[in-house]
Each structure stands twice: as structure tokens, then as C-alpha cells.
């Protein structure tokens, strides 16, 4: 083990200033190796150092040769994370089409702004019955984006020409009697880490603000096929961290003095303010859950591999997930049904059934709750406890569970440097070129510093962390032998980091306010690829609690 770690010393040596006694033909010094040893927690004898010095030099030379031929962000490593490693192919999910709930029909209002907060289902009925044209709905969304973006800073690129051309085509299909389903003519936005042909794909970061990737992300193509109308590319914190991008800070519609959180900052803000009915976000370690909580909207982080990431910026090849942010649980289900499935351009994708039933109740379901976390005192704990009572009143028999993280021998956050290592590899050229100085945020908890620090992560420790990750996967497999879904505070406890590492799906939705204009949320976690059940349970809670009907004033 120790000798394997030695090969990673060279990563440190490249960055250490030369000084002291030469060991091997003047190429490395004893002080350089000693400094690397200290960082890695190694203790080597004089003879051991002399023996390995030439190996380190050779390794350094190889690294430098590789760096002269940097890989593009889109090139994946020859490694694959499989969330079913311990469970085998997920069984017991019925292979049937989703069944949407009955929609409360809305009459066409005099002012279309009056349906700005309508659900996808309600808007779909207005379009299907020809009360509202696809062009009218697209124009309304474009107008609202123009009108309110100066307050929210949630738009990177508006796409009026593309949107109106697509909306006209959707109206033409309706004229011919062809209806593509509930997304026909529905406007939406995408987080600007997704490529859209003919438009900049900025990743929210100044070094890439003029970047154009001449392709569509797979999810964009799939939504095109379902008739959805892309109106805008929305903001993300630079390189998918936070809510600060090269154009400023994206704002929370409930409190525009506050950021919208991130990194799916623009999608959450735009949906919250009624600028688009839904948007596509991404999550690696909280980037759907956190802004959905802050902005009082509903988000779905699907199972890892459920949705193709082809055409999306890579941050962490083993942790990135794409998913919808919308007004309601069923809106998220409708969007997931459109974007899920196998994609040959993303070898991590799978094709599992999605038998969502909008009318399903709680009968026969075992619903757990993370008892020890609900017992903690934190802002919003009263709202989370009240959510459990709403579920009990709705008929749930709640089973107390515990995430046995104390029994692992490590805190799950101790292995989360997997994300840092993969992200630093994805953007190593940015670090080595010094262009990371162009990023707006230059603090300890921001990418420039994290990328630099991650150059010191040994390859051996990255592998060891992934081995420990298997313990987390085994823990989750045991939990889901006893329950079908569990309820958890969204941002308290270890569930968020664990499930992002294991790839489990999570639904986050509003459950009240900790103060005036300060939304809070509750989360539901499901079995791998069983979004149908976790969405159905979340919808029962949503319909009983009714918080999705609240919207920020002034929009």
C-alpha cells in the first residue's frame, strides 16, 4: 500500500519549489520529497527515498507529457460507477406506462400572466383544447423572462427565434390533429451546462462565456421530440457551484436580497417566479435539492444513470445527475418520462420502467423516516415534524429508520473528495493554465481553490474512497429491504451526501416557511430506479399539505 502511494508523490513535487540536497541527477531534492511525504502522511527512510527518486522523476515526466495533450471535458474516463453493484438488476418494478392524474381544467384568462403559475397538466389542457396556442404560451414565457430577469439575473441566453419557430411547428401539428402529449407546446429552460446547437454554452464561468458547442444535449433532443419549447438557457453558479456566475448572483424570488442557492440557480429561480413551467437542472452534491429548497419549488434528482448526460458539462463522472425542477411533483414525473432511458452516447444510462400512477395512495407501502435526524433541533425542524403528521393523517404508517453512518468507521463526507478529484481532473487544464483566476469567486470554498487542492489527492486514496463507497451502497441496500421510501430533512443529516454517492433518487418539495418569505422543504428518497413510487408518495404529501400553491409576490 505504502509503495503504491509513493507514485502519487509526483503530483505534489511538480508544485513544490526546488531546494536542498539533490538526490537524482539534480532533478529532485530531498526537501521536495520530504514536503510531499508530510502532506501524504508517509514516513520514508533515507534509503527508501533514494530508491524511489528516479521512479518519481519518470512519473512526473509522463504526467507532463499527458498534460500537453489535455482531454476535452466531454471525454469520459475508462471507469464506470454502477449503483446496482450490490443489488443486481432492480426487480419488482412493473413494466407499464405512467398514468397521469386528472387535471383541474382552467379557462383561458384574459391576461395569460394569470396562468404563469399553472402546472404542466393545466397548461397542457389549455393547449390541447386550443384555448391557448403554443406561440402565445412561448411569447408569454419569453416576455416574463425579459421582464423579470433584471431582478433575478437567472438568464444567460434567451432563445426567442428557436422558441417561436418550435412553437409555430407545434401549432401546425395541432392543426393537423397531431398531439404529442402533455409537454406539447410547454415552454422550459435548461441550466447552461447543457449544450444547445447555435447558442453559447457558458457553464456559468467567464473562461467559457463565449463557448459554443455545436450539438444538442440528449435531454434537449428528447424534449424537442415531446414537443416542449426551449425558451432560455438559465444560470448556474460558475462550473456548477453556488449561485454566482460571470454575470452576477442569481436571486431568490421570495427575497431578491438573497441568492437563489445553487448550483441550479437559474432553473429554481425561473420556475419559482413563474417564468417557465419547468427547467432542467443538475445535481452532483445538492445542486437540485438546495436551490429548490431556497426558492420553494419541487425538484427531482433521478437515480444515477436514469437520464443521459450526453452534451452536459462533466463535473463528476460518477456523481452527476440531470433532473427536472418544476411546480409540482407530477410535473417532475411528466418531465422525467420524457428524458429517461438508454443513450448510446452515455454508457452509464439504463432503461428501466417508469410506471408512475398519479392516483396511487399509500396503501401497502412501507414508509420510513430518519428518526434521529427528525429529533434534532435545527431551523425548520418543527415544519419537518409537522410533515410527518401530514403523512400519518394521509394514511401512512411511518417506520423509524436510521442511516447507520456511525457504524461505517468514517463520516460519509470523508469520501466526498471523490467529487473534488473528478472535478479537478475535468478542469485540470483550467488550473494549469492559470485561467482559473478568471472565475468570479476566489475564496476557500470555491472551485479555483478546490481544483488546486485536489491536485494533491493521491490516486490511491481516490480508489480507497471508492472502495469505502461500497459500504454506503450496502447500507442503502439493507435499508430498502425494510422500506419502500423514506422521508428525511432535505439538508440536515447525512442522507443528502450518502444518496448522491450511492445514486438513489430524491424528491424535494416545499413544506412551509421558517420565516416570512423563507421557504423550507422536505425530501423523499426511493429505491434505485423506483422514481415511480417515491414520486407517488411525495405527491400524496403535496396534495395533503398544499404548499405548492404558494408563490412569491411581485411576479
Residues classed as catalytic: 191, 263, 287
Residue 249 CA to residue 238 CA, distance in Å, equals: 10
Which letter does DSSP use for residue 171 in this model? H
344-350, long-range: CB within 8 Å, 24+ apart, which pairs?
345/218, 345/308, 345/310, 345/311, 346/218, 346/308, 346/309, 346/310, 347/76, 347/80, 348/80, 348/81, 348/304, 348/305, 348/309, 348/317, 349/305, 349/306, 349/307, 349/308, 350/305, 350/306, 350/529
Residue 164 CA to residue 531 CA, distance in Å, equals: 33
> Is 322 exposed, middle or buried (CB count within 10 Å of its CB: 0-12, 13-18, 19+)?
buried
Determine contact, residues 256/153, Cβ cutoff 8 Å.
Answer: no
Grid cell listed for 508? 424535494
Grid cell listed for 5? 502511494
Which helix (H) or strand (E) segment holds residue 522: the answer is: strand 518-526
Residue 487 CA to residue 70 CA, distance in Å, equals: 43
Peptide bond before 416: cis, by omega within 30 degrees of 0? Answer: no
Residue 174 CA to residue 124 CA, distance in Å, equals: 12
Chain mean position to CA 463: 23
Q: Which of 222, 188, 217, 181 shows the shortest CA–CA distance to 97?
A: 181
Determine contact, residues 186/265, Cβ cutoff 8 Å.
Answer: no
Q: Which of 167, 207, 205, 174 shows the shortest CA–CA distance to 188?
A: 167
Determine contact, residues 217/312, Cβ cutoff 8 Å.
Answer: yes
**Beta-carbon neighbour count of residue 422 at 10 Å?**
23
3-class secondary-structure state, position 173: helix
Determine contact, residues 279/191, Cβ cutoff 8 Å.
Answer: yes
- Give the 3-state secondary structure of 177-206: CCCCCCCCCCEEEEECCECCCCCECCCCCH
Q: Which of 316, 353, 358 shows the shortest CA–CA distance to 333?
A: 358
Chain mean position to CA 246: 20
Q: What are phi and psi of 446, to 5 degrees?
A: -150, 160
3-class secondary-structure state, position 325: strand
Q: Taking each helix axis from N to C terminus, what angle separates 265-272 and 134-152, rounded to the nearest 10 degrees?
A: 110
136 CB-near residues (< 8 Å, 6+ apart):
112
Amino acid at each position: 500500500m505504502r509503495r503504491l502511494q509513493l507514485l502519487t508523490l509526483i503530483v505534489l513535487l511538480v508544485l513544490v519549489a526546488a531546494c536542498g540536497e539533490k538526490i537524482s541527477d539534480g532533478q529532485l531534492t530531498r526537501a521536495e520529497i520530504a514536503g510531499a511525504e508530510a502532506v501524504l502522511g508517509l514516513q520514508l527512510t533515507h534509503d527508501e527515498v533514494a530508491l524511489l527518486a528516479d521512479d518519481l522523476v519518470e512519473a512526473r515526466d509522463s504526467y507532463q507529457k499527458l498534460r500537453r495533450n489535455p482531454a476535452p471535458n466531454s471525454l469520459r474516463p475508462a471507469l464506470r460507477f454502477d449503483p446496482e453493484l450490490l443489488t443486481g438488476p432492480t426487480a419488482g418494478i412493473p413494466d407499464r406506462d405512467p398514468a397521469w392524474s386528472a387535471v383541474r381544467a382552467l379557462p383561458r384568462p384574459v391576461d395569460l400572466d394569470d396562468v404563469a403559475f399553472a402546472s404542466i397538466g393545466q397548461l397542457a389542457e389549455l393547449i390541447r383544447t386550443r384555448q391557448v396556442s403554443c406561440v402565445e404560451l412561448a411569447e408569454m414565457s419569453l416576455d416574463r423572462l425579459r421582464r423579470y430577469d433584471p431582478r433575478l439575473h437567472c438568464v444567460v441566453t434567451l432563445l426567442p427565434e428557436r422558441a417561436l419557430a418550435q412553437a409555430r411547428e407545434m401549432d401546425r401539428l395541432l392543426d393537423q390533429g397531431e398531439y404529442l402529449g402533455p409537454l406539447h407546446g410547454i415552454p422550459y429552460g435548461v441550466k447552461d451546462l447543457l449544450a444547445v446547437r447555435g447558442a453559447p454554452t457558458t457553464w456559468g464561468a467567464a473562461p467559457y462565456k463565449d463557448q459554443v458547442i455545436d450539438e444538442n444535449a440528449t435531454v434537449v433532443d428528447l424534449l424537442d421530440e415531446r414537443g416542449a419549447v426551449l425558451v432560455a438557457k438559465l444560470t448556474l453558479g460558475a462550473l456548477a457551484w453556488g449561485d454566482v456566475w460571470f454575470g452576477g448572483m442569481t436571486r431568490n424570488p421570495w427575497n431578491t436580497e438573497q441568492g437563489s442557492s445553487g448550483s441550479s440557480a437559474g432553473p429554481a429561480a425561473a420556475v419559482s417566479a413563474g417564468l417557465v413551467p419547468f427547467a432542467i437542472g443538475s445535481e452532483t452534491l445538492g445542486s437540485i435539492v438546495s436551490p429548490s429548497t431556497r426558492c420553494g419549488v419541487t425538484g427531482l434528482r433521478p437515480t444515477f444513470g436514469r437520464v443521459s448526460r450526453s452534451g452536459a458539462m462533466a463535473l463528476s463522472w460518477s456523481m452527476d445527475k440531470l433532473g427536472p425542477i418544476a411546480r409540482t411533483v407530477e410535473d417532475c414525473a411528466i418531465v422525467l418520462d420524457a428524458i429517461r432511458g438508454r443513450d448510446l452516447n452515455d454508457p452509464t444510462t439504463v432503461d428501466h420502467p417508469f410506471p408512475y400512477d398519479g392516483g396511487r395512495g399509500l396503501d401497502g407501502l412501507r414508509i420510513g423516516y430518519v428518526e434521529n435526524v427528525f429529533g434534532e433541533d435545527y431551523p425548520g425542524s418543527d415544519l419537518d415534524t409537522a410533515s410527518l403528521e401530514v403523512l400519518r393523517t394521509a394514511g401512512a404508517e411511518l417506520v423509524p429508520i436510521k442511516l447507520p453512518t456511525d457504524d461505517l468507521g468514517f463520516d460519509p463526507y470523508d469520501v466526498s473528495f471523490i467529487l473534488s478529484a473528478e472535478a479537478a481532473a475535468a478542469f485540470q487544464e483550467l488550473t494549469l493554465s492559470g485561467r482559473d483566476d478568471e472565475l468570479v469567486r476566489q475564496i476557500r470554498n470555491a472551485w479555483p481553490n478546490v481544483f488546486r487542492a485536489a491536485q494533491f489527492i493521491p490516486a490511491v486514496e481516490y480508489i480507497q474512497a471508492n472502495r469505502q463507497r461500497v459500504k454506503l451502497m450496502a447500507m442503502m441496500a439493507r435499508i430498502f429491504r425494510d422500506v419502500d421510501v423514506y422521508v428525511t430533512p432535505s439538508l440536515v443529516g447525512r442522507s443528502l451526501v450518502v444518496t448522491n454517492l450511492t445514486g438513489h433518487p430524491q424528491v424535494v418539495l416545499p413544506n412551509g416557511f421558517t420565516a416570512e418569505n423563507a421557504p423550507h422543504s422536505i425530501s423523499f428518497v426511493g429505491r434505485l430506479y423506483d422514481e415511480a413510487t417515491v414520486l407517488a408518495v411525495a405527491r400524496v404529501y403535496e396534495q395533503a399539505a398544499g404548499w405548492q400553491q404558494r408563490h412569491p409576490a411581485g411576479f
